[in-house]
Amino acid sequence: MLLEILKITIPSLIVFLTAYFVLKAVLKREHESRKIEVVLQNKKIITPLRLQAYERIILFLERISPNSIIMRLQTPNMTVGQLHKEMLTTIRTEFEHNLSQQLYLSISAWEEVRNAKEKTIKLLNSCLEDLDLNDNALIYSQKIFETLIEIEKSPTQEAINFVKEEVAQLY
């Protein structure tokens, strides 16, 4: 009697275990396949967003470069103090406007952007030393341009180069 039960149970158990492991492997493969499909779909959506973020960051860096910001903000009869205040306000506003872009940039790229902003502000502040805030803004602009020539590469240009290199590596 026990032998008869074992004759039926053992083959049934072998068939069950075989079916179980085969089905488990098939389901695992199907799950991995769907996972890959989701990742590819996400990449199709995320890639354009990331590229747009890199574009916006380069635009931000161009807009806060001392050359660009002076040309945009300086007006006739503006004083050193007025121009300085306008430039700092513009840089901070532009930065706040682009804060969300850090989501799509690498940590090192975002650090470069933040450092470029801080170095630009530091450059503008250092050029302000020894100037009378009520003097004509042309004196301040000239000092900024002279300082940029001395350092050869502006902080914003360094960050732009970094971002471009990162995009080239990614895409």
pLDDT, tens digit only, all 171 positions of the chain: 778 887 888 889 999 999 999 999 999 999 999 998 888 887 888 889 999 999 999 999 999 999 999 999 999 999 999 999 999 999 999 999 999 999 999 999 999 999 999 999 999 999 999 999 999 999 999 999 999 999 988 999 999 999 999 999 987
* Token representation of residue 150: 């001395």
Contact 131, 107 (CB under 8 A): no
DSSP 30-43: HHHHHHHHHHHHHH
Could you identify the residue written with the tokens 């996972």? 35
CA-based nearest residue to 119, from 81, 148, 93: 148
Separation between Cα atoms, residue 17 and residue 11, nearest integer Å: 10
Closest CA to 106 of 64, 33, 32, 53: 53
pTM confidence score: 0.77
